[in-house]
Structure 1
Amino acid sequence: MKKLFTLLGLLVAGGTLAQENTSSWGFVNNLPPGRPAIFGYVTTVDGQPIANAMVEVYLNSEFRSDYAVTDSQGFYALALPQRSEVWEIRVKADGFLPWSTRTGILAKERLDIVLRKDPRPATEVKPESKQRRQARKLMQEGLEAARKGQTQKALELLRQAAATDPRYAPAYNNLGVHLRLAGDLEGAEAAFRQALQAESFDFYSRFNLAALLYDTGRYHEAAPMAEQAVLADPTSAAAEALLGQSLLALGQGQRALEHFQRALTLSQSQLDLELEISDAYALSGRLAEALAAKKSWLAKHSSDPRATHVQASVAKLEARLSAEPKR
């Protein structure tokens, strides 16, 4: 069975990879042909620019998160790693209500954003603590070091971020992500669990912990954790797919199939789950549908390294179907 970690990747929270020189039209114009990007202005309702607004992008199928900060004119720009129909854009700025949308980004797309003032009096808005600000700064420095390939420096900065504010779940989550990338599965699991102690309903930590449990064969633990991730974010196609994978590994074909179908609906069929769905059909005794799904996958992936194995599965399914008594 193909591991979900390979299929979906790790989910990283907190604005992970800062783009250099993003606040310029030249940055957008000089991108290679076909490179997707998003850019525009963040303003108030009366057109005044909002500086230092955080614009984050999240990709459901990979959980790649990048961010840009608006300049004095409210301008932002981000080059994206790939085209997709399921990008989520989130924007936040001090004194304004947060804003978000889901959209496809297939080329260089302009998206101007209007933020509304937070109507609450300043006395009712809980200020961010000094420890939280310092922890976020250390975390972002750690993620930047990781982007440059400075693994040990990144891990040390992320550990410092978590120690500075033990209630800051993103610091522990990102520490877990990079410990896992460094091969320290035990440390990664401990970090994800600490993130959940800091914020029990944190989606990112739930998903990453569930993926780690799944990839290490602990399916009985992975399934309930993935289910909690789905509850934390019912719009996540990746969490639905992970739950389906975990249930499939436990032999619950019909339940797995339900979650695979939800994942396809949420991702607008962007996820490739035909092999998993075929296995769920076969486990549920729906052999003809399993055979059709595998043949459909082969028609699209004839050069895939798994094609030989899938072709053998097709032959076995055909043999089983031919052996069934005619109705």
Structure 2
Amino acid sequence: MPNQTIYILSIESSCDDTSIAVLKNQTVLSNVVASQKVHQNYGGVVPELASRAHQQNIIPVMHQALKEAKIEKTHISAIAFTRGPGLMGSLLVGTSFAKSLAMALEIPLIEVNHMQAHLLAHFIDDAGQEIPSFPFLGITISGGHTQIVKVTHHFELEVIGETLDDAIGEAFDKGGKMLGLSYPAGPQIDKLAKLGNPKSFDFPIPNVKELNFSFSGLKTALLYFIQKSQKENPNFIEENLADICASYQYTIVKILTNKIKKAVKQTGIREIAIGGGVSANREIRETLQQLALKHHWKVHIPKFEYTTDNAAMIGIVGYYKYLEKDFCGLDVTPKARFGF
């Protein structure tokens, strides 16, 4: 911990949540998120509407973040922002705002990889949140990504497994759409699954090489299953919704945990940290905790406020980059695809 006090104002705008946070070293002083409800009418995020909403939200969100943090703009040491990956229009809003603010305040600008931030969110100094030890396996599970990452240091990350098609969040949302659930369907499936029997229906576990994932086959299997069942009984979904959700979610979690077990065996690393919006899923959390007890793993599960897209996780990466004096120029541009 440095002797000086570092204030990082961080901006997250990769998809449909506008978020700004203020961190004092590793401690979160504020973490304001403005969600966009308009996308529920379309069954998914509409990029053009998302970027317009970011433009409307970003200044009020910043004022609220500074107010909650009880600091003035002149106290800020640096501006951190999500450079990518994400929706280009949304990223442009956050990037342009960050550059303008850094230039106006004459302070450093720090670019952040959104996926790296999901993993380093575990390093936020928050009561009850234990910091992982290096090396650990980072599991990023969200609407757009599914990855297993070997994390050797804050800035030494290696993707050792990833999805070949749909992300785990897409499997939940697209499956839910088939069942007539509204967007986002993941939390609804999780809630309904509690009321159902996970062994009611069998769905296939894909045979994918190495540590990679595939969820498109499962999604197709659900579609064919529904079509066949509705021919026999038009009310099949309504009469069996909880059991379908429980069985579908059970299979998704099985696909995920099978790969995690394989990754532990291959690497010998028994410390695991999950991140991303889908890490809020109840069954994933409970299953990982059970596996940790059974196999003597150490599992780190973030607080709910640090699972979905939020600026606090951008800020903690910004803090560590500030210590390294890893700044970027005002000519920086966003990247929709942005690897480690």
TM range (shorter): under 0.3
Bigger share in strand = 2
Q: Give me the TM-score of the superposition, normalised by structure 2.
A: 0.26
Instruction: Pick the structure with greater CA Rg.
Output: 1
Give 1 or 2: higher helix fraction: 1
TM-score normalised by the chain length of structure 1: 0.27
